[in-house]
Amino acid sequence: MPEQLIWGMEVFVNGLMAGVLYALVALGFVLIFKASGIFNYAQGVMALFAALTLVGIMEGQVPFSHLINAVFGTEIHHFGWHVPAFLAIIFTMLVMIALAWAVNRFIFRHLVNQEPIILFMATIGLAYFLEGVGDVMWGSDIKKLDVGLPQGINLTIDEFTFNLFEYGFFIDNLDLWAALVAALLVIALVIFAQYSKQGRAMRAVADDHQAALSVGISLNFIWVMVWSLAGFVALVAGIMWGTKSGVQFSLSLIALKALPVLMLGGFTSIPGAIVGGLIIGVGEKLFEFIMSSDALAGQWFGFTISATENWFAYVLALLFLVFRPQGLFGEKIIERV
Amino acid sequence: MKRHLIAALAGVTMMAGPALAELTIVDLSYRTGPYGANGIPFSDGYQDYFTLLNERDGGIGGEKINLIECETAYNTEKGVECYEATKGEGALVYQPLSTGITYQLIPKVTADEIPLHTMGYGRTSAKNGEVFKWVFNYPANYWDGASLAVKHMMEQAGGSLEGKTIALVYHNSAYGKEPIRTLEKLSEKHGFNLTLLPVDHPGQEQKSQWLQIRREKPDFVLMYGWGVMNQVAIQEAVNIRFPMENFMGIWWSGSENDVKAAGDRADGYKALTFHNLGSDYPVYDDIQKYVVDTGKAAGAGDGIGSVLYNRGMYAAMLAAEAIKTAQEIHGVSDITSQQMRDGMENLEMTEEKMAEIGLPNFGPEFKVSCENHGGNGFGAVSQWDAEAGEFKLITDYFQSDQEVIQPLIEEDSMAFAKENNIEPGC
Amino acid sequence: MIYREAGDFKTSYVDDSQTFPIRFDRYGYYAALVVAFAIVPFVINDYWVNAVVLPFLIYAIAAIGLNILTGYCGQVSLGTGGFMAVGAYACYKLMTAFPDVSIIIHVILSGAITAAVGVLFGLPSLRIKGFYLAVATLAAQFFLVWLFNRVPWFYNYSASGQISAPEREVFGVAITGAETAPWAAYLFCLVFTVLSALIARNLTRGMVGRKWMAIRDMDIAAEIIGVNPLRAKLSAFAISSFFVGVSGALFFAVYLGAVEVGEAFGINKSFLVLFMVIIGGLGSIFGSFAGAAFLVILPVFLKIALADHAAVSPVSNALATLCLAIFGVALLLFLAHLVLRVFGRRLWKDLGALCGIVALIAFFAYALLSGGLGWPTDIVAHVQLIIVGALIIVFLVAEPHGLAQLWRVAKEKLRLWPFPH
């Protein structure tokens, strides 16, 4: 087999792994959009905030220590304990639930029946707010996050593919784990939505707010629940990305990676988020591989381009949408005058 | 709102009068935003050194230092706002720690006659003092960095780079693009192949670049990164098992922050530096005694001795020495920004001087002159020692390939002079 | 009472449909123009021009542009930063390629080039709507920024990829470059801003504008009554992009002088301009100005109030103490109100809101009068984020139609005041 093809296969598999991570972020968007029609731009910042809180709890950091020290002239930084990862994740989840409650109580309860764009803007405001709070609470330095996930090349795959093609594929263990966790998460979410009482209520709300209200479903409860679920998804995404690059500001920018996934998959479809994520992940990695390779693009077009990943996903989604405006799995838009 | 505006107006006019009889230093810092984690230790070091001078010596030459901090968040618009807000206070020198803001300020400082010191960043051709009269970039610049890295790699490869491949992984911005031209020239000279791998801001995702490195197996990788890009790159390099001793970063890619996420596995990663590392210097005892223990430290006080803290402190030390030089030249203690420029232009850093300050062997010796605003291009290579948890110098200071760099600087600065109708000369 | 409408007769339709039908408003507008053109240039200094006024004027043009697209035509765009970059790079290429042509023509041509690019990226809007379109415009944002960063022709092959505006003059007065006098840069931008507002205002209340609004309110219905959606949407994209391009050109050439595309025209710029439009008020030219002013001044104001620290005169110190006292009393009352609320009682209906606002004003008055509070800059930067975020939310909750609506309500009240009906 020509080596370009083998390399292409390696890139393809890595693209799938990256796609799973994108899908993970996109999932949080879909959950909230389905249940409340809110396009939650703050999802990325929520991932950052969750990861910051997790590290803070694990390391026993004193929240707001910088502010406290500045105001009272004290010198406190740490409680001096270390919380095991599992417990810390539970505590972080509690914080995210509290956040979900606060978001609904103080923001979206006042914005019922507003236009979608207004709701969207409110989430951008929320993003700024959370970013500031996260910084003041836990400090803006880089933090190492280690919850015991393995990292580095997976040797089994390396060996296996080496025997097959005489070229060992590189797959990051962390990516494999992320894929596994994402798969479990999706299955759990689908089971929850299909079979539990709350899940059914959630779907009812997504279908029709008014009708759901009239059969006695508490909208408030469902919204808090959905935001908590989105918070949980954000936490998982935050752990995966945070393990990779350390927990820091740039984590909040992963939301931008999820937007084309949403366009492609449709804003309202959980399978759409997964499939869209995979398509985007594979597409952008393969495009970059082909376009930056002298042997491929160099031969075919006479030039190479690189660092295309920031825009390729968007352009792909844009072209796709021109042919199918509601996305891959989105609901057909029916308009009446 | 109207009331606020009037009050704001009142506030500004009240501030406008320059605080005389004090040496004003402005610290354009960034403690938030995507690059905040790197900006914090630098700014802490910069401020702590001046605080030390104030506390221990009562300032410089009997003149207290008035330190103003202004947050730029690495954003050029905020940088301009900070500059305009503070220049009226009699600021002596600006150190923006951002190549973007530097480009913005070059024409402004030239018009306002305030020196700009861009230590190891900014516009490389500003080394030519005949064209860039108000901009200084001693002791080393990006092009020096590229040449130093190539020199070290050549040594590693046994004296010749013929037929070898060097991959440049760079931040796709003004900063990251700076070394490309130098490296192209050097590749002609030494016969190595150059592969360019741009990474777009912020650089959270670099799988494609590193898979390419894994496939093409370049002999060396050189990195010009900043912010999260550094951590991800080092992590990915570890993951693909790239030999860390063949992986080298510019000085902005070589701090403890950058190897944090990869941890022990980054052992052996190299980075350039133009000053010494660690906290084993007399001056640190004084900082502990006069600054930290008295509760006057700029930050949380936990970054002291880290690479970027040292760099900030080094920048402050060079500024303080320039102030001293200016005071000597003009015989006044309360200098102006124009006099400050003379001080910077006549700055000479010698070993005795540094030992006297309490920083023996902390930086290379260099001498600034009217023609040469960039020092002599000396730097050293440091290596991450995971066990000790610190970067360690593994070479002496050595000089970059001036033969290649000097003509490039000449060419670029002359083009700038022509574009802006500047008459070069001293 | 303040508005005296008695005796303000209109004898023609033209009179009746003018922008400022009330005489008082009209005179106010003329007075503002006179102040802006004839008085401000004499008193303005470097700091005010570069920190507040120039960004305000330039962002106002961008906000007008986006308001035409989003507020009048209903197409949400997140590509403003990218289109500003087109304007900036077009201006740079024109300035360096034709150094003898006046920069005024360059700026207008940059707007025209941006309009063409805008139409290109506006084509998908014929099929895509709502959020899908908003996200699709991000494709323009990312692609354009990448293009300018990547293709050396755009930055004339300079080593670092930065573009710097060469010095240019208008009527012998430097407009770009380091030697520009503050008043010159100010007047130059002011002319563009005022013209933009005039053009936009007259377009939006004419036939074109009514077509846009028909599309915004219900595109299918609009099509049925004979509005061509293709032409309406694309003309909105073109005209909106024209203004955005002009603002990008001014932003680069006059305000910053040198830009790096990823930093200056990144996605944050798109969001910032969208905020201005939403906070100012969708579908209002005045709102574009109000939103731009608000978001330009707020961070500067917070920085001056919280982070700076300067010595002040004893008089203002005394006043500051007074403000602090007012702040304390208002805060106590506010807390008392909250405590009473917990027990289900209250002293007076609006006490809480009133005390909250008074406390806020008193606090900032105190901060300003005492020369700034001198907090650590990083805390201030974080607090700024929190306040901006919270303000956006508060605005959306309290007045989703933005500052323009507040202004309208205030005007309505003033027309009746002091009579209740």
pLDDT digits (tens, 9 = 90+) for C240-271: 999 999 999 999 999 988 888 888 898 889 98
For an interface test with A, the pick among C225, C393, C401 (most A C-beta atoms closer than 10 Å) comes out as: C393
Contact in structure between B3 and C300 (CB atoms under 8 Å):
no
Average pLDDT over residues C165-181: 85
Helices in A246-336 by DSSP H: which ranges?
255-265, 270-291, 299-300, 309-323
Does pLDDT of B238 surpass 70? yes
What value does the mean pLDDT of chain A take? 86
SS3 A85: helix
Instruction: Select from A11, A139, A151 the Cβ nearest to the Cβ of B211.
Output: A11
SS3 B12: helix
Amino acid at C78: L
The pLDDT of residue B14: 41
> CA-CA distance, A260 to A319, in Å (whole number)?
11
Instruction: Select from B11, B107, B172 the Cβ nearest to the Cβ of C371.
Output: B11
Instruction: Select from C55, C368, C377 the Cβ nearest to the Cβ of B8.
Output: C368
The pLDDT of residue A193: 83
The pLDDT of residue A337: 63
Chain-centroid distance, C-alpha C61: 7
Does pLDDT of A164 surpass 90? no
pLDDT range class, residue B7, cuts 50, 70, 90: very low
Average pLDDT over residues C276-290: 91
Task: State whether A314 and C142 contact (CB < 8 Å).
Answer: yes
Complete DSSP assignment for B229-295:
HHHHHHHHHHHTT--GGGEEE-GGG-SHHHHHTTGGGGTT-EEEESS--SS-SHHHHHIIIIIITTT
User: Hey, which bits of B152-239 come out as E strands?
Assistant: 165-171, 193-199, 220-224
Contact in structure between C263 and B33 (CB atoms under 8 Å):
no
Question: What is the interface size between A and B, counted as CB pairs within 8 Å?
Answer: 103
Complete DSSP assignment for C18-85:
SS--SHHHHHHHHHHHHIIIIIHHHH--HHIIIIIIHHHHHHHHHHHHHIIIIIIT----S-HHHHHH
Q: Which residue of A has its CA nearest to C76?
A: A117
Does pLDDT of A135 surpass 50? yes
Token pair in block for residue A164: 């097959």
The pLDDT of residue B174: 83
Chain-centroid distance, C-alpha B360: 20
| Cβ-based neighbours of B220, under 8 Å, separated by 6 or more | B153, B156, B157, B164, B165, B166, B167, B246, B247, B248
Share of chain A above pLDDT 90, in %: 23
Q: Which residue of A has its CA nearest to B296?
A: A73
Query: Residues of C with CB below 8 A from B110's CB?
Result: 178
Task: State whether C312 and B107 contact (CB < 8 Å).
Answer: no
Average pLDDT over residues B196-215: 88
Does pLDDT of B227 surpass 50? yes
Taking CA atoms, B310 is separated from A140, B219, B315, C161, in Å, by 20, 31, 9, 30
Question: What is the total residue count of chain B?
Answer: 426
Task: State whether C393 and A107 contact (CB < 8 Å).
Answer: yes
Does pLDDT of B5 surpass 70? no
Share of chain C above pLDDT 70, in %: 98
- A 10 A CB-CB count for B5 gives 13
Q: How far is A66 from chain B (nearest CA, A)?
A: 8
The pLDDT of residue C303: 86
Least confident of A13-17, B8-12, B311-315, B388-392: B8-12
Does pLDDT of B20 surpass 60? no
The DSSP code for B195 is E
Tell me, yes or no, if B165 comes closer than 8 A to chain A by beta carbon: no
pLDDT digits (tens, 9 = 90+) for B83-112: 988 888 889 999 998 888 898 898 889 888
- Rounded to the nearest 5 degrees, what angle is found at the Cα of C225, between the Cα atoms of C222 and C230? 50
Question: Which residues 117-136 in chain C show a CB within 8 A of chain A?
Answer: 124, 127-132, 134-136
The most confident of B232-236, C96-100, C112-116, by mean pLDDT: C112-116
The pLDDT of residue B8: 43
Q: How far is C167 from chain A (nearest CA, A)?
A: 33
Instruction: Select from C166, C262, C380 the Cβ nearest to the Cβ of B71.
Output: C380
| Cβ-based neighbours of B185, under 8 Å, separated by 6 or more | B404, B408
- Residue position matching structure tokens 């920024």: C145
Q: How far is C324 from chain B (nearest CA, A)?
A: 15
Q: How far is A119 from chain B (nearest CA, A)?
A: 25
Average pLDDT over residues A308-322: 87
The pLDDT of residue B12: 42
The pLDDT of residue B17: 41
Instruction: Select from A132, A317, A325 the Cβ nearest to the Cβ of C127.
Output: A325
Question: In chain A, how long is the greatest CA-to-CA distance?
Answer: 69
The pLDDT of residue A333: 66
Query: Residues of B with CB below 8 A from C47's CB?
Result: 12, 16, 84-85, 88
> CA-CA distance, B369 to C307, in Å (whole number)?
38
The pLDDT of residue B247: 95
Short-list C199, B205, C396, CA closest to A253: B205
The pLDDT of residue A127: 92
pLDDT digits (tens, 9 = 90+) for B112-148: 899 999 998 988 889 999 999 999 998 899 999 999 9
Share of chain B above pLDDT 90, in %: 53
Q: How far is A81 from chain C (nearest CA, A)?
A: 26
Contact in structure between B371 and B129 (CB atoms under 8 Å):
yes
Which pairing describes strands B378-385 and B165-171: parallel, antiparallel, or unpaired? unpaired
**Stronger pLDDT, C222 or C135, i.e. the higher one:** C222
Does pLDDT of A1 surpass 60? no
Strand partners, B60: B63
Question: What is the total residue count of chain C?
Answer: 421
The DSSP code for C167 is P
For an interface test with A, the pick among C396, C401, C403 (most A C-beta atoms closer than 10 Å) comes out as: C396
The pLDDT of residue B19: 43
Task: State whether A246 and B198 contact (CB < 8 Å).
Answer: no
Task: State whether B227 and A250 contact (CB < 8 Å).
Answer: yes
The pLDDT of residue A169: 87
The pLDDT of residue C90: 96
Question: Which residues 54-113 in chain B show a CB within 8 A of chain A?
Answer: none
The pLDDT of residue B346: 92
Query: Residues of B with CB below 8 A from A7's CB?
Result: 215
pLDDT range class, residue A99, cuts 50, 70, 90: very high
Question: What is the interface size between B and C, counted as CB pairs within 8 Å?
Answer: 151
- A 10 A CB-CB count for C230 gives 12
Query: Residues of C with CB below 8 A from B104's CB?
Result: 256-258
pLDDT range class, residue B11, cuts 50, 70, 90: very low
> CA-CA distance, A162 to A81, in Å (whole number)?
46
Q: How far is B167 from chain C (nearest CA, A)?
A: 18
Contact in structure between B408 and B143 (CB atoms under 8 Å):
yes
Complete DSSP assignment for C86-143:
HHHHHHHHHHHH-TTS-HHHHHHHHHHHHHHHHHHHHGGGGT--HHHHHHHHHHHHHH
> CA-CA distance, A291 to A289, in Å (whole number)?
6
pLDDT range class, residue C291, cuts 50, 70, 90: very high
pLDDT digits (tens, 9 = 90+) for B244-302: 999 999 999 999 888 888 878 899 999 999 999 988 899 999 999 999 888 888 877 77
pLDDT range class, residue B166, cuts 50, 70, 90: very high
For an interface test with B, the pick among C53, C263, C313, C373 (most B C-beta atoms closer than 10 Å) comes out as: C263
Q: How far is A103 from chain C (nearest CA, A)?
A: 11
- Residue position matching structure tokens 């970039």: B137
Letter string b/e over residues C183-207, b meaning 16 or more CB atoms within 10 A of that residue's CB: bbbbbbbbebbbebbeebeebbeee
Query: Residues of A with CB below 8 A from B171's CB?
Result: none
Average pLDDT over residues A93-114: 90
Average pLDDT over residues A7-35: 88
Angle between helices C377-398 and C267-280 (to 10 degrees): 50
